[in-house]
Amino acid sequence: MHDDRNLVEARLKRVLDERIRPAVYPESVPLDVAVWHAPGEPVPVAEGLSAVPEPIAVGDGWGAPWGTSWFTVTGTVPAAWAGRTVEAILDLGFDENMPGFQCEGLVYRPDGTPVKGLNPRNQWVRVAAPVEGGEEVRLHIEAASNPVILGYHPFQPTKLGDKETAGTEPQYRLARMDLAVFDETVWRLVMDLEVLGELMRELPVEGARRWDILRAVDRALDAVDPQDVNGTASAARERLAGVLATPAEPSAHRISAVGHAHIDSAWLWPLRETVRKVARTTSNMTALLDDEPDFVFAMSQAQQWAWVKEHRPEVWSRVTRAVSAGRFVPAGGMWVESDTNMPGSEAMARQFVHGKRFFLDEFGIENDEVWLPDTFGFAAGLPQVIKAAGSRWLLTQKISWSRTNTFPHHTFLWEGIDGTRIFTHFPPVDTYNCSMKGSEIAHAARNFKDKGVARHSLAPTGWGDGGGGTTREMVAKAARMRDLEGSATVTWETPAAFFTKAEAEYSDPPVWVGELYLELHRATLTSQARTKQGNRRSESLLREAELWAATAAVRTGHPYPYEQLDRLWKTVLLHQFHDILPGSSIAWVHREAERTYAVVADELGGIIDAAQRALAGDPGGDLPLLFNSAPHTREGVAAGGASAPLAAGGGTGVRPRDGGGHLLDNGLLRVEIDGRGLVVSAYDLAAEREAVAPGRAANLLQIHPDFPNMWDAWDVDEFYRNTVTDLVDADEVVPGEQPGSVRVTRSFGRSTVTQLLSLSPGAKRLDILTEVDWHESERFLKLAFPLDLRAERYASETQYGHVYRATHTNTSWETAKFEACNHRFVHLEEPGWGVALVNDSTYGHDVTRAVRASDGGTTTTLRASLLRAPRFPDPETDQGVHRFRHALVPGATIGDAVREGYVINLPARRMRGDAEVAPLVTIDDDAVVVTAVKLADDGSGDVIVRFHEAHGGRARATLTAGFPITGVVATDLLERPIAEPRRHGDTVPLTLRPFELVTLRLKR
Ligand SMILES: [Zn+2]
């Protein structure tokens, strides 16, 4: 037979594009349109509905950036349409090439009932099916003129990202406002032809199935009269029925489709707009659930649910009904889809506590799966947090974005630092916006790496970020692929249903140990330094506030601020969303975040101060109390207690250095700062060991050009290292005002930096306070410490422990980790002697090594990442003044690194009083680190203490309660009982495995 494949495929494309799709709406009449532009920020629905609008015509421009316009559309269904299905087509000026990221609308009836959202690929509103003719139609649209930030020429600097700089130019032009007849038969024909045409293109040309479909399509197109599509569509469909009815092969891949809309809680829009994005999408999805009995929709991020409940009660009631029916499903069990690299131990835990508790409280539903499709890599501390929260599965597809290495599995066990294993799935469809295109379904089946032992994968299906979620077209296509020869099968399911099947079929999955490092977006560890600093400070303040408020409550009956702490935690957790803490949002988001963190700090400071005052007693008392919030003894004050500190022995001498500069010596460390203000020696006097590599200088600021190929705020590309400028010229190197310190000032580019290097008496730690007035563009600032030390691996603090990474670049996997995350410390060691670098707010770092020709020794260079200056999406990223604290700790063990990491993050709070404060909880082993002391969330007054083994070894210790206890219960993160440990009076013997995390409820 002659090969006419190309001819028929081209025929299908043209007839579908030019004749069949346009015939879905064969007749239409214009609606009358009027508009009221809200003068400022969004107004309540009632105000928008009652505003007096002015006429506006299709073709007119509307919508200043970030504005809200309330459109009213009115019309009458023509009598001649009686018996037909009629829809309003409301095109606000959408660009259908982008599924979201632009203007959007939410349609209301005059009584305030939400109908559905309007999105670029979802512009219809059903009027009636069938109509009687003559119906009056009146709809209101709350339309948001959110500007396009990420356009056709992506990553261009724009002032549109902040209302204060965005101007007033109308962003959109009304495109179509019609009533139209909807020909459902033609629409179904479109769905048939799309599914078959897309499947056909994925099938092997050698296979019969491809040709069966081709012949059927050809015959169907013969049946279509291009001059009368509406009259002939039904006949055409009949000719496709046969090829649509042949079932899938028994070995076909099985896709669990989960209705989904990935809505970033803030990104290219401010937080307040996400509230409305969620309302629009949830309105769409409840409407679709009403229309499509097989469809299931899942929504993550308890915060987004809480927003609907608080701000859109009329939408919330529809959501809760759909939840009761089991078809609108809470997913993930976290407060937001947070970053997981940077959140500290307790914050990572509280993401689950507040997320899971919201769904439990509202619906009695507990999530077993963690839903993080888009998060930029996964810290090795996360598995045990997931387990401790009572969850057991993880979903993400982000690792498919890695640019260097291809991850070897789609379904596997992920093992964390303590040995916890979590059953994990990466959807092989490689997107969290699946649209049920044949190419996506075929890719998922082909790409799935666990063929032969597993058969199921998950496809998150729907447009996110203002795309409105799943569309009726996706549902129609999924229905045709439910059991279709040549295709993977598609079934709508909940995430839990998928995981149950996937786990059951895969008895011995492969294991991946350690972090799931994303080989992309590495600069998110550094961009928007003030946001990151706000997060770290807030985490430390929350620790202090809970500790002292709990102590004051138990010791003095001081009221415990349950609701205030709950609210403040949720605020901090929200800002750990995967485009806020990573610094990848527009200027508006980060400007607001900075203000919010200041308010959070004020409130938490108030809580801490009030509790400490209650504990200290008479402010005129003669005790100079130091409140020690750290988990280790500090200046002689017990962890979690307050007493008069012991005076540190000795002092720090400062004297001129031979050859210029200054020499600091406190009997433990001798530090030489040369005339350039660089640390050329940091000598551990007890160990008689030099930390700084010979001929090199530490505390060296280095600046690199930093213009990645794309994703400016997200990415630093490896070529940034090819060019470097060492900032060695100092304006001034002088003794600092405080004893034992040296101040260094430098100017470079349009910026200045002042550093205060100090050695405190009794501390084996060189403190470095760096203040930068940063006015660079597309530059990366690093603080370098070349160390005379050889180690195959180094440790970085992560949640409830530390993770090791290689110092070498043997394979592409190690090479790709050229920028990585730390919390409070990075630690390198040779057996018996190590060095730590601790920080108060930086996360990005890199470690490289070189063997010296001169003496054969190894120089291992550790660099903290301080600042970047990307110009997209915030053109002014990181401009202005920043302050960072670091400390170099020569001779540090891992335990020293842990302790100094806490010290630099927790200020010593001093207050006069008349009473010492005994700690609520004491643990007699420094390896066991307390991360939280708080009152139980249930209001019982019980004390909750959470701790973990922090050195990576075994710990045997005794916990002693500093108050009478009536019982002790081991709990999960949500403070629910899981076991009853042994107890002797007020003491509890502890045995912990490496990095093991334990939560105890001490009953009063
Ligand atoms: Zn995202």
By mean pLDDT, which of 642-651, 958-967, 985-994 is the weakest? 642-651
Query: pLDDT tens digits for 499-541?
Result: 999 999 999 999 999 999 999 999 999 999 999 999 999 999 9
Of the candidates 771, 748, 759, which has an alpha carbon nearest to the alpha carbon of residue 840? 771
**Strand partners for 172:** 62
Give residue 333's identity as a one-letter amino acid code: G
CA of 579 to the centre of ligand 1 (A): 7
Asked if the model's pLDDT at residue 715 lies above 80, the reply is yes
878: annotated active-site residue: no
> Residue 32 C-alpha to ligand 1 middle, in angstroms?
38
Residue 44: count of CB within 10 angstroms of its CB: 9
Residue 38, Cα to own-chain centre: how many angstroms? 32
User: Alpha-carbon distance 222 to 240, whole Å?
Assistant: 12
Q: What is the helix (H) or strand (E) element at residue 47, kind and residue range?
A: helix 45-50
pLDDT in tens, 782-807: 999 999 999 999 999 999 999 999 99
Gap from CA of 432 to ligand 1 centroid (Å): 9
Sign of the CA dihedral running 442, 293, 103, 76? positive
Q: What does the alpha-carbon distance between residue 946 and residue 346 come to, in Å, rounded to a whole number? A: 9
For the stretch 825-846, pLDDT in tens is 999 999 999 999 999 999 999 9
When the pLDDT of each residue in the chain is averaged and rounded to a whole number, the result is: 97
User: Per DSSP, what are the bridge partners of residue 752?
Assistant: 747, 773
CB atoms under 10 Å from CB of 624, counted, come to 12
The confidence band for 937, taking pLDDT boundaries of 50, 70 and 90, is very high
Angstrom distance (rounded) from CA 758 to CA 740: 6
Give 297's contacts (C-beta < 8 A, 6+ positions apart).
Answer: 258, 259, 260, 285, 288, 289, 322, 327, 328, 329, 462, 469, 470
Q: Give the residues across from 772 on adjacent strands.
A: 753, 882
Buried b (16+ CB within 10 A) or exposed e, 351-367: bbbbbbbbbbebeebbb
Crossing angle (nearest 10°) for helices 184-202 and 208-223 = 150
Give the Cα separation of 159 and 162 in Å (integer): 7
Tokens of 179: 């009533």
How far is the centre of ligand 1, averaged over its atoms, from the C-alpha of 274 (Å)?
A: 12
Give 533 Cα–ligand 1 centroid separation in angstroms.
22
For 407-448, write each residue's pLDDT tens digit. 999 999 999 999 999 999 999 999 999 999 999 999 999 999
Give the span between the Cα atoms of 130 and 218, in whole angstroms. Answer: 32
Element (H, E) at 608: helix 587-616
The token pair that represents 882 in the structure block: 């920043």
CA of 142 to the centre of ligand 1 (A): 25
Supply 340's token pair. 């997981």
Q: Which residues, including other chains, have CB under 8 Å from residue 121's CB and lie 6 or more apart?
A: 94, 96, 99, 463, 467, 468, 471
Q: Which helix (H) or strand (E) holds 310?
A: helix 302-311
Do β-strands 955-961 and 844-851 pair in parallel, antiparallel, or remain unpaired? unpaired
Q: What is the rounded average pLDDT of the residues 472-485?
A: 98
Asked if pLDDT for residue 82 goes beyond 90, the answer is yes
Q: What are phi and psi of 117, to 5 degrees?
A: -85, 160
Q: Specify the pLDDT at position 786.
A: 98
Is a pLDDT exceeding 90 seen at residue 493? yes
In contact, 795 and 827? CB cutoff 8 Å: yes
Task: Indicate the burial class of 792 (C-beta count within 10 angstroms; 0-12, 13-18, 19 or more).
Answer: exposed
Average pLDDT over residues 941-968: 98
**How far is the centre of ligand 1, averaged over its atoms, from the C-alpha of 624 (Å)?**
49
Q: Supply the DSSP symbol for 399.
A: G
CA 802 to ligand 1 centroid distance, Å? 26
Q: Are strands 766-774 and 689-690 parallel, antiparallel or unpaired?
A: unpaired
- With H, G, I as helix, E, B as strand and everything else as coil, classify residue 406: coil
Give the pLDDT confidence of 910-928 residue by residue, as tens digits: 999 999 999 999 999 999 9
Angle, CA 376 vertex, CA 513 and CA 403 arms, to 5°: 80
Beta strands 741-748 and 732-735 are antiparallel
Distance CA 544, CA 538 (A): 10
pLDDT value of position 907: 87
Residues 182-201 have pLDDT tens digits of 999 999 999 999 999 999 99
C-alpha dist (Å) from residue 841 to 525, 538, 617, 758: 11, 11, 33, 19
**375 Cα–ligand 1 center, Å:** 7
Tell me the CA–centroid distance for residue 374 and ligand 1, in Å: 5
Interhelix angle 562-574/345-363, nearest 10 degrees: 110
Find the angle CA(104)-CA(441)-CA(332) to the nearest 5 degrees: 60
Among 60, 218, 294, 374, the active-site one is 374
Residue 712: pLDDT over 80: yes
Question: Within 10 Å of residue 767's Cβ, how many Cβ atoms?
Answer: 21
* HSE (side-chain half, CA atoms, 13 Å) at 775: 7
Give the pLDDT confidence of 647-666 residue by residue, as tens digits.
877 888 899 999 999 999 99
Taking each continuous run of H as one helix and of E as one strand, the counts in the chain are 18, 53
Q: How far is the CA of 442 from the centre of ligand 1 (A)?
A: 24
pLDDT in tens, 854-908: 999 999 999 999 999 999 999 999 999 999 999 999 999 999 999 999 999 998 8
Radius of gyration of the chain (CA): 31
pLDDT at position 639 is 98
How remote is the CA of residue 311 from the centroid of ligand 1, in Å?
22
Contact 201, 9 (CB under 8 A): yes
Quick one: which H or E segment has residue 244?
helix 229-245
* Helices 587-616 and 529-556, axial angle in degrees (round to 10): 20
Q: What is the pLDDT of residue 648?
A: 75
Q: What's the pLDDT tens digit per position in 748-783?
A: 999 999 999 999 999 999 999 999 999 999 999 999
Q: What is the dihedral of CA 242, 244, 245, 248, to 10 degrees?
A: 130
Cα-based distances in Å from 255 to 203, 448, 456, 508: 18, 11, 6, 21
pTM above 0.85, yes or no: yes
- In a 13 Å sphere around the CA of 65, the CA atoms on its Cβ side amount to 20
Confidence band of 732 (pLDDT split at 50, 70, 90)? very high
Average pLDDT of the segment spanning 137-159 = 96
Structure tokens at 731: 């304006």
Residue 786's beta-bridge partner residues? 861
By CB atoms closer than 10 A (0-12, 13-18, 19+), residue 826 is buried
Q: What is the pLDDT of residues 541-570, one digit of tens each?
A: 999 999 999 999 999 999 999 999 999 999
What's the pLDDT at 650? 82
Q: Which residues pair with 76 in a beta bridge?
A: 136
Q: For position 847, what pLDDT does the model report?
A: 98
Contacts with 241 (C-beta within 8 Å, 6 or more apart), sequence order: none
Sheet bearing 653-656, strands edge to edge: 653-656, 662-665, 669-673, 679-684, 689-690
- Three-state DSSP at 214 gives helix
Q: How far away, in angstroms, is 263 Cα from ligand 1 center? A: 7
What are the tokens at 46? 């009632």
User: What pLDDT was estimated at residue 70?
Assistant: 98
Q: Is 19 left (phi over 0), alpha (psi -120 to 50) or beta?
A: alpha
